[in-house]
Amino acid sequence: MKKIFSVVFLLFVVFYASLPASANNSLADGTYTINYKVLKADNDSVSIANDYWEKPAKLIVKNGKYFVQVRLNHSSWIKEFKVSNVDTKVISTDTSANKRVAQFEVDQVPDIVTSQIHVYIPEEEFPGEGVYDSHYTIRLKFDQNSIKAVSSDSNSSNESSTSASTKTSNEKSSQNKTNNQNETDKQTENNPETSDSTSLYVFIGLFLLSAAFLTFKFKSRFKVS
């Protein structure tokens, strides 16, 4: 018996431990934020590019597909931003702030995404330093535990439903004010009966529980004897 219990308990623990990962990879349609940092290609040290990728990122789930949007500052320096050697999509550009928002698609809630970038800094940015022109491979490390919902399709429909139900309830409330006064007197008369019936149900419930306990105890003694 102890062995069976141990096996069942172990299976339960294994199943429970697998739940968070499944939940993380099945987000409802909507918009979320997720924190991340930019790491070097060959180790987990933070890349200098980390300063140019603003946080948090935006995670958009639509029809079961996952899209990540990140905002880049010093946008004019970053000539290329690819994910898995595919150019990211520019969603918006703020020329005055020298920023842009780029988007790429992932198969599931992101963990580590490999990216290729081309950084070009003209000499006039840092006189005397010369032109900076380099290609890098970086890794975007996302924190799945930091995911927070910004909006969702279900939230918007719930808000509409709540608004409609609130309006309806307010109309009913105004119509029923007069009726409530009359019902108060009736409820006052009916309360003793309600109290009596409630006590009766409680008594019956206690009686049934007692009978079940005594039956179980009797059967146990009978088996022992």
CB 106 within 8 A of CB 140: no
Instruction: Tell me what pLDDT residue 103 has.
Output: 99
Q: What are phi and psi of 79, to 5 degrees?
A: -75, -30
Q: What are phi and psi of 85, to 5 degrees?
A: 65, 20
For the chain, the helix, strand and coil percentages under 3-state DSSP, each to the nearest 5: 50, 35, 15
pLDDT tens, 169-209?
Answer: 555 555 555 455 555 454 544 444 444 455 556 667 777 87
Instruction: Tell me what pLDDT residue 144 has.
Output: 97
Burial-class residue 47 by CB neighbours within 10 Å (0-12, 13-18, 19+): buried
What gap in Å lies between CA 26 and CA 88, rounded to an integer?
24
Instruction: Tell me what pLDDT residue 194 has.
Output: 44
pLDDT range class, residue 214, cuts 50, 70, 90: low
Helix pair angle (153-175, 177-224), 10° resolution? 120
pLDDT range class, residue 37, cuts 50, 70, 90: very high
Task: Say which CATH topology domain 27-146 has.
Answer: Immunoglobulin-like (2.60.40)
CB 23 within 8 A of CB 147: no
pLDDT at 163 > cutoff 90 = no
Q: Which residue has the higher pLDDT, 147 or 3?
A: 147
Query: Of the ranges 64-73, 80-89, 179-188, which one carries the lowest mean pLDDT score?
Result: 179-188
Q: Which residue has the higher pLDDT, 133 or 179?
A: 133
What gap in Å lies between CA 188 and CA 167, rounded to an integer?
30
pLDDT at 138 > cutoff 60 = yes
Q: Give 15-46 as a DSSP string.
A: HHHHHHHHHHT-PPSEEEEE-EEEEESSSSSB
What gap in Å lies between CA 96 and CA 5, rounded to an integer?
67
DSSP state of 51: G
The 10 Å CB-count burial string (b at 16+, else e) for 201-222 is: eeeeeeeeeeeeeeeeeeeeee
